[in-house]
Structure 1
Amino acid sequence: MASDLEDIKRRLVVAHKRGGRCVYDETAKSELVELCLQPGASVSRLARECDINANQVSRWLREHAQRRKGALIARSAPVTSPFVAVPVLPTRTVKRVNDAVAMSLQARLPNGVTVELRGADLRELGEVIQALGRLPCSVSTTI
């Protein structure tokens, strides 16, 4: 580990800005952060051995944690949509009204609301679904 730390220390500072601030190598920074995350590692000791302020290393650790948290959220967060998949089940009884098929539609929404339309033909159901799709969705119903 001592040789790893010496290698990181050697590669860490790549330049200095006008005000004296250091420009750090991203790879070496990441390696130092990984060393700090090891069980039993002392952030202040590792920072001191690399000639860096411990507060700077602590900031890198916070940024690293935020990036990891953001990456986990991005991977696990479902795509939010105001639309909900509605399974279409075959109806048991089909009635013909003036050569049109009378259909029934039942939708159970995640908020517990059940919508039922009975005795409508395909055209009427299509119009209702299109009208519902054009309605604005309030912020309270979006995820």
Structure 2
Amino acid sequence: MTENKDLKSRLVIGAKRDGRREYDEAARDELVRMCLKPGVSIARTAMEHDVNPNQLRKWITRYRQQRMAQVQQNLASGVADGTLIDTPTSVPSSVAPAFIPVVTAPLAPPDVTQERSPPLPSMVVALHVRLPNGVEFELGNASLEELATIVQMLGRLPCSGSTMG
């Protein structure tokens, strides 16, 4: 807990005329790294350190973007985690290509003598609807497709003034 108080005291280094605070970059990055740990609540951490949670979220986003840019720059230069990666600039001509062409044979035509299975019977459902304005209707022996169409149509109907609260 003492390190949190220490971080809180190091975080703000000044205030501008318009009331905005100026923050120490090292303390800000330390706070961001603290928030990136698993299970840490960003909002709680922000409130404990007297920082607006939205501001802390912006710092986290900026921190991640900077880290990603550093990683991409290191990969482009051949350095990963401080270690120089020796990548060959040209491939020797004696090496076989990594990809070889694939030749496919045409598939045999499907056997048309197979009997087709009879279509499965569709489910039959009944529906009873009571609208807020007192209108009732009942649909019996309807298929799922028909009921879906009815429900979609009912969902598109505008609400009448009598049912609006």
1:43 aligns with 2:42: yes
What is the TM-score of this pair, normalised by structure 1? 0.54
Which amino acid in structure 2 is aligned with residue 44 of structure 1? Answer: A
CA distance in 2: counterparts of 1:22 and 1:9, whole angstroms: 13
Q: CA deviation at 1:85?
A: 4.5
Between Structure 1 and Structure 2, the one with more helix by share is 1
The structure whose Rg is larger is 2
- Name the structure 2 match of 1:25: 24
CA distance in 2: counterparts of 1:51 and 1:86, whole angstroms: 57
Q: CA deviation at 1:34?
A: 1.1
What is the TM-score of this pair, normalised by structure 2? 0.47
Which structure has more RCO (C-alpha within 8 Å, separation ≥ 6)? 1
**Using a 3 Å threshold, how does the CA distance of structure 1 residues 85 and 25 change in structure 2: closer, same or farther?**
same
1:67 aligns with 2:66: yes
Q: CA deviation at 1:52?
A: 0.8
Q: Detail structure 1 runs of 4+ shifted over 2 Å in the superposition.
A: 84-89
What are the residue-to-residue correspondences of 1:1-143 with 2, within 5 Å?
A: 2-77=1-76, 85=90
Identity between Structure 1 and Structure 2 (%): 40
RMSD, aligned CA: 2.7
Secondary structure of the residue aligned to 2:59 is: helix
CA distance in 2: counterparts of 1:34 and 1:3, whole angstroms: 17
Which amino acid in structure 2 is aligned with residue 59 of structure 1? Answer: K
